[in-house]
Amino acid sequence: MKYGYFDDLKKEYVITNPLTPLPWINYLGNNGYYGLISHSGGGYTFYQDAKLRRLTRYRYNNVPKESGGRYYYICDGKETFNPGYFPLENKLDEYSTRHGLGYTVITSVKNNLKVVVTYFIPLNDNVEIHKVIVENLSNENKNIKIYGLTEWALWNAVDDQTNFQRNLNIGEVEVTEQTIFHKTEYRERRNHFAYYHVNQKISGFDTNRDQFLGAYKGYDKPEVVLSRKSKNSITYGGSPIASLEVSLDLKPNEKKELVYQLGYFENKENSKFDKKGFINKRNVLKQIEKYEDIDYVNQEFKKLNTFWNETLSKYEISSSEEKLDRMVNIWHQYQCMVTFNMSRSASFFESGTGRGMGFRDSCQDILGFVHMIPDKARQRIIDLASIQFKDGSTYHQYQPLTKRGNADIGGGFNDDPLWLIGAASAYLKETGDFSILKEMVPFNNVVEDSDTLLNHLRKSIDYTLNNLGPHGLPLIGRADWNDCLNLNCYSTNPGESFQTTENIQSKAESVFIAGMFVQYGREYIEICEKLNLLNEAKRIEEKVLQMEKSVIDHGWDGKWFLRAYDANYNKVGSAENKEGKIYIEPQGFCTMALIGGSEYAKKALMSAKKYLENDYGMELLYPPYSKYYLELGEISSYPPGQKENGSVFCHNNPWVVIGFTKIKDGENAYALYTKNAPAFIEDKSDIHKTEPYVYSQTISGRSSKTYGEAKNSFLTGTASWAFVAVSQHILGVRPDFDGLIIDPVLPKHLDNITVKRVFRNKIFNIQIIRDKKMNQQLVVDGKKQKDNILIKLNNKQKVYEITKYII
């Protein structure tokens, strides 16, 4: 069942039924000021950090599902409705929500009154714009009232939801003409405030939630709206809101436009107040005045559209497969931008109060983002390296507002350091900018204790080499990529964190990290060779060969790669095990690295296909664990088929896709890619439940009672890896240190594909044509190349016309 459709021309997903299985969301903003918005206008807004600078309140895991957002109540005679259907749930004559790139448009018609609300955040200001157009479609005059509403959060999202003995005593606002200013804690240590404004004379306002709703009432029956009369309440403590009432007269077929602003502003510490002790509004009024002008608002919206069109134009394809084009040209890259901005911090499933920016997460997010805005990727790499310790280990997370490591969870996840090499390598290949390696970067954000980024990478490599187990394989630490495989935890206490608890000496080993070391060790070697650091390259080359041998000798189970050795040196992910016989992660990374060559890769991939594949991709392990295993940790705490215990963990499916391309198996690579690529499974939305335009982290596996149901949408490493898999390995257009590689591995039904790739400020127009007679020839500007894969760059040439022939 579908709840809408793709509009590829406008790069939008159009929702036509408001009763989606879950709130289907979009993201606003791109430069530090962000909003999450659902198809009904639910969600919240924050500045830089969803935990420390939460502007508006949203209630997670709530009943009903949506509670909190930017709501507009429309009163037309006896009729009252929300353009987004919720929270009133009054039936609409027409409804649609268009989730576009950085904006959302909600349109509805009720009683011959059409309302269109466009939500977006301009590129360069900390203000969320709500452009409201009301149109009288009838032949009679209408007198309507609009109540715009949002509920303020008290900045720190954790405190806001817990510390009520303080919170209910600190709320403060100021109201001036058409603006409500939220200034809780401004009187003390904060120099920032928020505001809600409309470019129309108001007929009333409210800032006290209890006064607006009425006793024991919710947003579905607000007293002020139902009575058609604001109370002009000023909150003093309590729960502050912002409600602005506007009265409009509409003649037949008349249309009027309003602009609401939800903004954030900071004053300098020495100029916080005016002479009367109120907020100094001199500078914020300049921002407010700009967006009172409808023409200016429309101009900024066009700039936003131009930004996204230019950003996504760096990689475009045209093929015979509409769904493939849709994913590559629009939704893959859009989701990569969102994950780069958010990491795993704020979504419908992530509350924004805990994780901040993950180290491994953000490193991987760079892989699918770097081609779009390389400068931002460069800065992110430096930020990540700045939370590394001198021994090469890293904090596992950091807060985006402070850029400081999160001490609550600390470090000890032994895969983390190697991801930094993957991210840096991707940046170097994309840009050719080796100057980043000379950047002085602090350890643990201590400026006095800095070293070059290159030496940070060296310490990442050496951290793995200094932490090897008895089989010559890397020690896993608290966990590797799979946070729930806690082989040193041995937790028996309910509520104890699996990730931060180690009850025995760290002895467990990870075959997965070994695969990472081989893959990224080779990339580190290439970096060293480019810098003429031949002794360092040789040193690591020997270590990579040793690691390969350790994997073959101790990490190969006969038909697939083992997952690990537990703390008692027992095999994990082996045919010898009763449960959890085979895991996906090492089959992906070890075949990407071609450990043991194509022969081992083919066996491992076919085993993965045999045991792990279902209708939605490959499950993380098989068979799932039926009970809690003390020696395995959190992975066995989930019911079978859920999350890490045997769901389709979409993140590592692309590793297997890339593995198939390494052995030139385009059929299996593409088939696996399409099993969970959103556009290919849109018609299963009633089962899948999450948004049909973006990837989710997990899809319940065959052993689950909710087989096919997805969770944790939008913020997942699947975004980057799926884009890398399809763009760089199936379509085969990928950056290299020495130029651009064209090496497609396509299924038989796909041929005659056109790819446009912007690479190092040059345009590559690529035709991929199936012609066995041409023997995989590469033709550049009409000339056959000696190298059938790599295109080396000419500094003066700006446009390249390329034909790549495939068999």
* Chain segment 587-639, per-residue pLDDT in tens: 999 999 999 999 999 999 999 999 999 999 999 999 999 999 999 999 999 99
Cα–Cα separations (whole angstroms), residue 346 to 569, 695, 716, 733? 38, 15, 11, 32
Tokens 């085993």, residue located: 607
Q: What is the CATH number of the domain that holds 66?
A: 2.70.98.40
Q: Which long-range contacts does 467-470 make (Cβ < 8 Å, 24+ apart)?
A: 467/414, 468/509, 469/507, 469/508, 469/509, 469/565, 470/507, 470/509, 470/569
Tell me the two tokens of residue 765.
């127009």
Task: Say yes or no to pLDDT of 390 above 70.
Answer: yes
In angstroms, how far is CA 602 from the centroid of its own chain? 32
pLDDT on residue 497: 82
**pLDDT reading at 501 higher than 80:** no
Residues identified as active-site = 483
Query: Hey, which residues does 780 pair with through a beta bridge?
Result: 783, 802
Q: Do 376 and 293 have their domain in common?
A: no
The token pair that represents 694 in the structure block: 């973006």
CA–CA dist 55, 35 (Å, integer): 10
Which among 259, 255, 265, 257 has a CA at the least distance from the CA of 244? 259
For residue 487, give both structure tokens.
């082989």
pLDDT (tens digit per residue) in 19-32: 999 999 999 998 89
Same domain, 293 and 352: no
CA angle 159, 164, 167 (to 5 degrees): 70
Closest CA to 265 of 69, 47, 56: 47
Task: List pLDDT tens digits, range 240-275.
Answer: 999 999 999 999 999 999 999 999 999 999 999 998
Kindly report the CATH number assigned to the domain that includes residue 789: 2.60.420.10
| Mean per-residue pLDDT, 796-807 | 95
β pairing state of 142-155 and 173-176: unpaired
Mean of pLDDT over the chain = 97
User: Could you tell me the residue range of the domain that residue 383 belongs to?
Assistant: 343-449
Q: Is residue 124 part of a domain?
A: yes
Give the pLDDT confidence score for residue 53 in this predicted structure: 97
Average pLDDT over residues 652-673: 99
> CB neighbours of 711 closer than 8 A, spacing ≥ 6?
349, 643, 690, 696, 697, 698, 700
Mean pLDDT value of segment 734-761? 97
- Looking at the chain, how many residues does it have? 807
Regarding whether 232 and 119 lie in a shared domain, the answer is yes
Q: What is the pLDDT of residues 459-476, one digit of tens each?
A: 999 999 999 999 999 999
Domains identified in the chain, total number = 3
pLDDT confidence tier of residue 533, bands split at 50, 70 and 90: very high
* Apex 744 CA angle, 740 and 749, nearest 5: 155
For the stretch 59-85, pLDDT in tens is 999 888 888 999 999 999 999 999 999
In 10 A of CB 283, how many CB atoms? 12
Q: By C-alpha distance, which of 387, 378, 506 is closest to 444?
A: 387
Cis peptide before 23 (omega within 30 of 0): no
Residues 200 and 280 in one domain: yes
Distances (CA, A) of 299 to 200, 207, 261, 304, 408: 20, 31, 16, 9, 44
| Res 503: pLDDT | 67
In a shared domain, residues 104 and 174: yes
In a shared domain, residues 198 and 74: yes
Determine contact, residues 742/754, Cβ cutoff 8 Å. Answer: no
Q: Identify whether 276 is part of a domain.
A: yes
Query: For residue 240, is it within any domain?
Result: yes
In Å, how far from its chain's centre is CA 754? 28
Does one domain contain both 370 and 250?
no
Q: Is residue 292 part of a domain?
A: yes
Position 330 confidence tier, pLDDT thresholds 50, 70, 90? very high
Residue pLDDT, tens place only, 684-736: 999 999 999 999 999 999 999 999 999 999 999 999 999 999 999 999 999 99
What would the pLDDT profile of 428-450 be if each residue is shown by its tens digit?
999 999 999 999 999 999 999 99
Question: Dihedral of CA 200/202/206/207: which sign?
Answer: positive
Of 449, 478, 513, which one is at a domain's C-terminal end? 449
Residue 276 sits in the same domain as residue 375: no
Residue 130 has pLDDT above 70, yes or no: yes
Boundary (domain end) residue, out of 424, 449, 474: 449
Tokens 């004379």 belong to residue: 201
State the pLDDT confidence band at 379, using cuts at 50, 70 and 90.
very high
The answer on 273 and 147 residing in a single domain is yes
Residue 672 included in any domain: no
Residues 205, 260, single domain; the answer is yes
- When pLDDT is averaged across residues 730-744 and rounded to a whole number, the result is 98
386 in the same domain as 240 = no
Question: Within this chain, do residues 278 and 364 fall inside the same structural domain, yes or no?
Answer: no
Is residue 1 assigned to a domain? no
- Banded model confidence at residue 120, pLDDT cuts 50, 70, 90: very high
**For 432-531, where are the E strands, in sequence order?**
440-443, 446-452, 509-510
Would residue 234 count as lying in a domain?
yes
pLDDT, position 409: 87
Are the C-beta atoms of 202 and 246 separated by less than 8 Å?
A: yes
Q: Which of 309, 335, 360 is the last residue of a domain?
A: 309
Residue 631 lies in a domain: no
List the end-to-end C-alpha distance of the chain, in Å, as a whole number.
Answer: 38
Residue pair 263/193 in contact by the 8 Å Cβ criterion: no
CA 595, 598, 600, 606 torsion-angle sign: positive
Rounded Cα–Cα distance for residues 316 and 202 (Å): 47
Q: Is the distance from CB of 740 to CB of 780 less than 8 angstroms?
A: no
Helices 584-592 & 653-662 angle (0-180, nearest 10): 40
CB 601 within 8 A of CB 662: yes
- Let me know: does 97 contact 84? Beta carbons within 8 Å: yes
Q: By the 8 A CB rule, do 642 and 621 touch?
A: no
CA distance 185 to 568: 53
Q: What are phi and psi of 325, to 5 degrees?
A: -60, -45
The 3-state DSSP class for residue 194 equals: strand
Largest CA distance in the chain: 85
Other CB atoms within 10 A of residue 493 CB: 8
| 388, 394, 399, 404: CA torsion to nearest 10 | -40
